[in-house]
């Protein structure tokens, strides 16, 4: 386990938005990108609970960290199944893409684990990566193949890399979207009617309608950019990661780009009690940025 070093106001970076983009009003006036903590190997999967606490993973070191307002960062769980993408369900459980054994976990606040899913049609999953939970409790997740050093296999178990649906309380998943090169980031709207899936392997992000049966319809190219992780604000703007954080309007127009010092940003979420702090997991560090706009969740 690596130590966590928390940085406060002395670790700040200027946020220089492109002058020709209209998204300057998203960020709080005078706000700077601030390093929250460092000392990790690779940060991922931020998720926010009802209190505004943000949980994120350090996958190579097999741990989940928890940030609490006014208290800083502490280890929540270790080992943690090599958790990657995470999301809280309506019962307050932390749902995790635990790719040590390519499983979907439900983790209670006291660290108890239930394996929700470990296969599709009799074969191991490729490696659940990111997820979003519908208001009705259904779990949508992506299943790309990234060879992990802790696996003893070199070929993907599934014939292709797809997106799946695990209905609330179900024991088996169903495929809901295919024909990706490598699906990764995924997020849906609070009304449960729209889902975004990034094909990071093809540098594209798609928008889908979710019908009354929970199936995906009306596949539409949203923008020519893939993403590792993503989130939404209350205006419906979509935040994509990779080279810093790039923000798109609901119409698919780029409206802002937030530079981050690290060469790769893996994921992003709004946290804090008012959901107005943007948390960015970036390689060995986690950054925050105070915003004017609130997160959708």
- Digitized pLDDT (tens) for each residue of the chain, 297 residues in all: 333 433 333 334 555 554 456 777 899 999 999 999 999 999 999 999 999 999 999 999 999 999 999 999 999 999 999 999 999 999 999 999 999 999 999 999 999 999 999 999 999 999 999 999 999 999 999 999 999 989 989 999 999 999 999 999 999 999 999 999 999 999 999 999 999 999 999 999 999 999 999 999 999 999 999 999 999 999 999 999 999 999 999 999 999 999 999 999 999 999 999 999 999 999 999 999 999 999 999
Q: Distance between CA atoms of 183 and 7, rounded to whole angstroms?
A: 34
Token pair belonging to 229: 């992780």
Q: Distance between CA atoms of 71 and 60, rounded to whole angstroms?
A: 25
Vertex 65 angle, CA 72 and 275, to 5°: 60
What pLDDT does 23 receive? Answer: 75
Tally of CB atoms within 10 A around 213: 6
Token pair belonging to 203: 């540098």
What pLDDT does 13 receive? Answer: 53
pTM, two decimals, is 0.93
What pLDDT does 10 receive? Answer: 32
CB of 46 within 8 A of CB of 279?
Answer: yes
Q: Distance between CA atoms of 275 and 105, rounded to whole angstroms?
A: 25
Token pair belonging to 33: 């990108």
Q: Distance between CA atoms of 167 and 297, rounded to whole angstroms?
A: 21
CB of 96 within 8 A of CB of 107?
Answer: yes
Is the four-CA dihedral 281, 251, 190, 162 of positive or negative sign? negative
What pLDDT does 99 receive? Answer: 92
What pLDDT does 96 receive? Answer: 98
- CATH architecture of the domain with range 5-290: 6 Propeller (2.120)
Q: Distance between CA atoms of 46 and 64, rounded to whole angstroms?
A: 9
């Amino acid at each position: 386990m690596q130590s966590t070093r928390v940085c406060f106001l002395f670790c700040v970076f200027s946020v220089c938005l492109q002058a020709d983009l209209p998204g300057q009003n998203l960020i709080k006036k005078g706000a700077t990108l601030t390093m929250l903590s460092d000392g990790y190997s690779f940060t991922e999967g931020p998720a926010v609970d009802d209190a505004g606490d943000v949980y994120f993973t350090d996958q190579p070191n097999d741990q989940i960290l928890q940030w609490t307002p006014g208290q800083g960062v502490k280890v929540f769980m270790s080992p943690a199944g090599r958790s990657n993408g995470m999301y809280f369900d309506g019962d307050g459980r932390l749902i995790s893409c635990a790719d040590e054994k390519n499983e979907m976990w439900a983790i209670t606040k006291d660290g108890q684990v239930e394996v929700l899913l470990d296969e599709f049609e009799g074969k191991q999953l490729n490696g659940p990566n990111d997820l979003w939970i519908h208001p009705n409790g259904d779990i949508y997740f992506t299943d790309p193949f990234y060879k992990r050093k802790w696996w003893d296999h070199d070929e993907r178990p599934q014939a292709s890399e797809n997106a799946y649906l695990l209905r609330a309380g179900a024991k088996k998943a169903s495929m809901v979207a295919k024909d990706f090169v490598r699906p990764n980031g995924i997020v849906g709207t609070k009304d449960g009617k729209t889902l975004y899936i990034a094909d990071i392997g093809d540098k594209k992000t798609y928008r889908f309608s979710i019908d009354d049966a929970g199936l995906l319809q009306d596949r539409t190219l949203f923008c020519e950019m893939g993403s590792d992780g993503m989130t939404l604000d209350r205006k419906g703007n979509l935040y994509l990661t990779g080279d810093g954080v790039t923000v798109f309007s609901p119409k698919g127009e780029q409206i802002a780009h937030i530079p981050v010092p690290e060469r790769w940003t893996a994921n992003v979420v709004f946290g804090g009690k008012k959901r107005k702090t943007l948390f960015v997991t970036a390689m060995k560090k986690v950054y925050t940025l105070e915003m004017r706009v609130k997160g959708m969740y």
